[in-house]
Amino acid sequence: MGSYDEADSGNIVVINDYEDSQPATPPMEQPKVVGAAAAQAPIISSYNDKIRPLLDVIDRLRLLMVMKEGIQLPTIVVVGDQSSGKSSVLESLAGVNLPRSQGICTRVPLIIRLQNHASPRPELYLEYNGKMVPVEEPQIATAINNATDEVAGPGKSISNIPLTLVLRKDGVPDLTMVDLPGITRVPVHGQPDNIYEQIRDIIMQYITPKESIILNVLSATVDFSTCESIRMSQQVDKNGERTLAVITKVDRAPEGLVDKVTADDVNIGLGYVCVRNRIGDESYEEARKEEARLFETNAHLSCIDKSIVGVHVLAQKLVQIQSKAIAKCLPEIVKNISAKLDANVSELEKMPKALTSIADATQAMMRIIQAAKESLKKLLWRGEFDEYPEDNTKHGTARFVEMLNRFSDELHNCEESNLSKDFLTEEIKVLEDVKGIELPNFLPCEAFLRILRRKVERISYLPIKFTEKYWDYVDDVVMSVLTRHSEMYYHLKVAAKGAAHNLVQKLREQSINWVKEIAEMEKLTGYTCNPDYMMEWNKLMNQKDHFINQISGTNMRPLPCSVNLQGFGEIQVEHLRQHSNVSILQQAFDLKMRMVAYWKIFKVRLVDSMALHLQYRVHNLVNNDIDEIVKELMGPEGHGIEKMLVESPAVVAKREKLKNSIKVLKESKDSVAKIMDRIVLYDAYLV
């Protein structure tokens, strides 16, 4: 048995309803009592007197719409396949006519709140779309249909927006139930193609919370295991601990019904109930008498234990299960309300107060800028990532090293760093172009500078690309930090991000101009005081005689197609033999070795310079330049700060939402507090 089970929960209750396929007929008379349920009115009333305070507090919480705050309440959810007899069961419990039609007659969740009331005149009203509409008892079905059309639209479509029917009437059980659309797989004309998925989603939303009690309405004419409602309920209540089954249409298939419900092949933990519903123009009193006669006289149905058949048994069973569920869940509900209330109060306190003066706005702005400044120092300069421990993209110093290493790799692996391609071809051409009247074997300085200028020009896009990429990254980090610190001040956030972006773009442009100047300086003069230059050049020049001999030597037959040089690898030399002038080959080799030795120095110097420059610029940004944001925010006349006095709609809405939520939760907490000290008494009674 399930957690909501009572002593006789293993018993069986069954219902018969021919009228599901017939038009609803208003009763010929107003019954003085509600069928067998009213016949047992003293029992129900006595029970209601004990548990009414529990039901009242849950209804109060429901009225406060505490479920919108994520607080789940014990709820009887009525589900069933289309035409299983759901509406008939609810009519039998409430003693009033509900909408009937072919196909889906329940198109929205219908919350039915039954309250046993001693007044001789029933009180009924509908709640929907923020309205409370009084309803006369004979017009209930029409009123529900009209309200449904208003909520879900005319036609046959469905909606998840609920209606609430409140019925205060003498003799009805104190119950709150939610009637959901009947499950259908095949859409009819006027229904969307995904009608099944829409109904399934609504049902799963209501039956998934562990506080929900599932009232599964099944027709005796079908195999229970094939019912879609059983499949859905088993998905969320595998062992049936909170599922009660009501069997309808028992007179259509009475044979073997006892075996079906006692075998319990579909795990109905709270047991089965079999009932006969009102047919045609029967009054509810007549329907209950016919129900009693059926279970007394039918050869198959009379075998069922009388303690588990009839609408009056179903009413008592539901009241008991609901009461036990409320008593069990109420402490957890109190705990959840308190936790949600504390969380909302804390969140509201963390929100910034609305700014009411220029002084307040100025103070808030300075506080935000200083906080952002400190965060940027951590991320971009000091390498402290405690504010973004999981977001590696904000770890500025680490990302800078990665970008710098990629830039260095690109520079060292670019085409200009390929030492062996077309070996000496460019050097020979340049030497021939600058040839003039000069001393023999004199290496023209112009030849070296011309090659240097070409090489620097060809790689100049790399440091510019690296600079742009780094400042784009800095811009992203600055935007993210400012957004986080100014989230609650919309206008400040927008203005600060705009000012910060302008500042970063200015620094970006300055760095790009600096890179261009560096490139121009490198093209202007070849110079270094690094001793590695001479050491490298001398080492490379030691291979000169061997190389020249391999190309033009007269003692070698056949001449090799390639020559292996240290630092270069295998060099193709066939294209050099067309030059008969050994002197120009020697000069070209010397020029090449000077450029190779110098290019190594140049690449390291460029990477080092870029690293130092960008570090220097970022240091100035986080320590000094960022203060320019304040100046831009203030405006030339100091009036810019006034914009901060206007809060963003999102912040206003969030503050109001929290305030309203706190109000609801406080009222809910007060309502529950009045009953908590009596729960032990009710628990003892329910046992």
638 vs 285 pLDDT, higher one:
285
Q: pLDDT tens for residues 149-173?
A: 998 888 888 888 889 999 988 888 8
* Paired tokens of 522: 């490198």
As a whole number of angstroms, the distance between CA 455 and CA 457 comes to 5
Looking at the predicted structure, is the pLDDT value of residue 614 above 90? Answer: yes
As a whole number of angstroms, the distance between CA 261 and CA 256 comes to 9
Task: Say if residues 298 and 47 touch (Cβ distance below 8 Å).
Answer: no
Please give the pLDDT value at position 134: 93
As a whole number of angstroms, the distance between CA 11 and CA 271 comes to 6
As a whole number of angstroms, the distance between CA 378 and CA 395 comes to 9
Task: Say if residues 549 and 559 touch (Cβ distance below 8 Å).
Answer: no
- Look-up of token digits 């009947």: 182
Phi, psi of 442, deg, nearest 5: -85, 130
Task: Say if residues 109 and 152 touch (Cβ distance below 8 Å).
Answer: no
Q: pLDDT tens for residues 17-48?
A: 433 433 333 333 333 333 333 334 333 444 55
* Paired tokens of 36: 């067998």
Looking at the predicted structure, is the pLDDT value of residue 453 above 80? Answer: yes
* Paired tokens of 110: 């219908």
Q: pLDDT tens for residues 250-271?
A: 888 888 888 888 888 888 989 8
Which uninterrupted H or E stretch holds 212? strand 212-219
The three-point CA angle 226-203-277 to 5° equals 65
Distance from the Cα of residue 215 to its chain's centroid:
32
Q: Which of 333, 355, 381 is nearest to 665 (CA)?
A: 333
Q: Residue 13 — pLDDT band, cuts 50, 70, 90?
A: very low
* Paired tokens of 530: 């690094």
Q: For residue 620, what are the contacts with CB-CB under 8 A and spacing of at least 6?
A: none
- Using CA of residue 462, residue 467, residue 470, residue 471, what is the dihedral sign? negative
- Look-up of token digits 């320019």: 628
As a whole number of angstroms, the distance between CA 608 and CA 309 comes to 91
Q: For residue 660, what are the contacts with CB-CB under 8 A and spacing of at least 6?
A: none
Distance from the Cα of residue 300 to its chain's centroid:
54
- Residue 400 half-sphere exposure toward CB, CA atoms < 13 A: 22
Q: pLDDT tens for residues 495-532?
A: 888 889 999 999 999 999 999 999 999 999 999 999 99
Query: Minimum mean pLDDT among 152-156, 386-390, 406-410, 517-521: which range?
Result: 152-156
Task: Say if residues 182 and 20 touch (Cβ distance below 8 Å).
Answer: no
Percentage of the residues of the chain whose pLDDT score is greater than 70 = 87
As a whole number of angstroms, the distance between CA 370 and CA 638 comes to 19
Phi, psi of 66, deg, nearest 5: -65, -20
Please give the pLDDT value at position 683: 52
Q: pLDDT tens for residues 339-364?
A: 999 999 998 888 877 777 778 778 88
Which uninterrupted H or E stretch holds 666? helix 649-676
The three-point CA angle 195-201-207 to 5° equals 135
Q: For residue 529, what are the contacts with CB-CB under 8 A and spacing of at least 6?
A: none
- Identify the structural domains of the chain with CATH numbers, from first to last: 42-338 (3.40.50.300), 358-645 (no CATH)
Q: What is the mean pLDDT of residues 191-198?
A: 87
For 526-548, the DSSP string reads: -----THHHHHHHHHHTTHHHHH
Q: Which of 149, 138, 140 is nearest to 107 (CA)?
A: 149
* pTM (2 d.p.): 0.58
